[in-house]
Structure 1
Amino acid sequence: MKKVSSVEEYIEENSHFGEALSLLRDLINTTELEETLKWNAPVYTLNGKNVVGFGAFKNHFGIWFFNGVFLKDQNNLLEQAQEKTKGLRQMRFESIDDVDKHAVLAYVTEAIENQKLGKEIKPEKMGKTIVIPKELQIALETNKNFQAAFKALTPGKQREYCEHIASAKQEKTKMSRLEKIKPMILKGMGLFDKYKNC
């Protein structure tokens, strides 16, 4: 796509979803976010920090949340953009009829509040950041022995466990993985320790 100089031009260039993109733009512009263009697409910021953006592709369009990982996502509308993206989450639509205006605005509003609270994924320093999935976080908060055992693990072992749970797509898979790793954590083992000694 050629370089665009305004959001209007971006919408014009993606006229196959023009009406839908205009709807998303109007919704976002009812908030305090500032409209900008970054990476040749509309991005909305709060105090210079990226909060949401939207874009169109051949067969779908969507809105993405730069720190969407912190959204409650009660309606299960978000999906991870790519395996590697830590914080980014997106809502995908195939037609304007798929857009629930109230839900979109509620998610945008929550994203703004999260930004104000400073909830954001910090850039990783040499892969040292550990993002604890909510399922594991709850287990740690409700069991002091388990929490102490987890904290005693090396950061590398903690990260392996966190990624093991977070990589599961379904909630029930995350919970079953959590149950399987609890005894290993309590023994001070890493996720792959039993294989390393073979």
Structure 2
Amino acid sequence: MSRDERIDAYIARQANFARPILEHLRAAVHAACPSCEETLKWSAPTFMYGKEQLAMMAAFKAHATFGFWKGSLVVGENDRQTSAMGQFGRLTSVADLPDDETLHTLIRKAMALTDAGVKPARAKHPKPPIAVPDDLRAALDAESKASATFDAFPPGARRDYLEWITEAKQAATRDKRIAQAVEWMAEGKKRNWKYEKC
């Protein structure tokens, strides 16, 4: 069992209500996963299994939290997840946690997911499309190579140019950016072409 003195110090400086919760969680993780290692990530106690994060706990002024790195894959979706980070909501006492058998089962499930190479689910947050401003469209239409390049770009490459142009604060800056964009696109270049690997 690998314990980190920084976790001892973290728990010791928490509020009276939080210390028993954190100690209970720590003991439960080590009981179910004797090979886990402790560390601090984002200034919070984190349990590592192999080279991956297994779970994390934290304490705040009025509550503590506990969550699995593969969250919803371990416990499913629930309403408590929206009340605080982690999957168990705002913990104010050990009684807010599942019983030890359930907690150990969940920890072993998280371990099994890691052993199987399952990656955590990540929600995608697609950006809404940006309309092509009339002044840019007119400039592109006047230069067929630039227009063809822009229209053939993937959405992210088009967005790079559109954001750069529409974020200009002054009309003169916007006009310069449009002229530069058309020149680069006529050469087949993306907005950040200088940083692309050859």
TM-score (norm 2): 0.51
Q: Unpaired segments of 5 or more residues in structure 2?
A: 128-154, 156-198
Conserved? CA contact 1:65–1:111, under 8 Å: yes
What are the Cα deviations for residues 88-147 of structure 1, in whole angstroms up to 9, with x where unaligned? 84213221222222222211111111111111137789969xxxxxxxxxxxxxxxxxxx
**Number of residues of Structure 1 aligned to a counterpart in Structure 2:** 120
Specify the alignment match of 1:7 in structure 2: 7
Specify the alignment match of 1:57 in structure 2: 60
Change beyond 3 A, Cα 1:80–1:107: farther
Conserved? CA contact 1:35–1:42, under 8 Å: yes
TM-score (norm 1): 0.51
Q: Unpaired segments of 5 or more residues in structure 1?
A: 83-87, 129-155, 157-198
Q: Which amino acid aligns with 2:119?
A: E
Distance 2:125 2:88 in 1: 30
Distance 1:7 1:54 in 2: 10
Change beyond 3 A, Cα 1:12–1:77: farther
Cα RMSD (Å) of the superposition?
A: 3.3
Change beyond 3 A, Cα 1:96–1:124: closer
SS of 1:79's equivalent in the other structure is helix
Specify the alignment match of 1:117 in structure 2: 116
What's the % identity of the aligned pairs?
23
| Residue pairs, 1:25-36, within 5 angstroms | 25-30=26-31, 31=33, 32-36=35-39
1:73 positional shift? 3.9
Change beyond 3 A, Cα 1:23–1:125: closer
Residue 81 of structure 2 is aligned with which of 79, 82, 95?
A: 79
Distance 2:38 2:103 in 1: 17
Change beyond 3 A, Cα 1:8–1:77: farther
Change beyond 3 A, Cα 1:19–1:89: closer
Greater C-alpha radius of gyration:
2
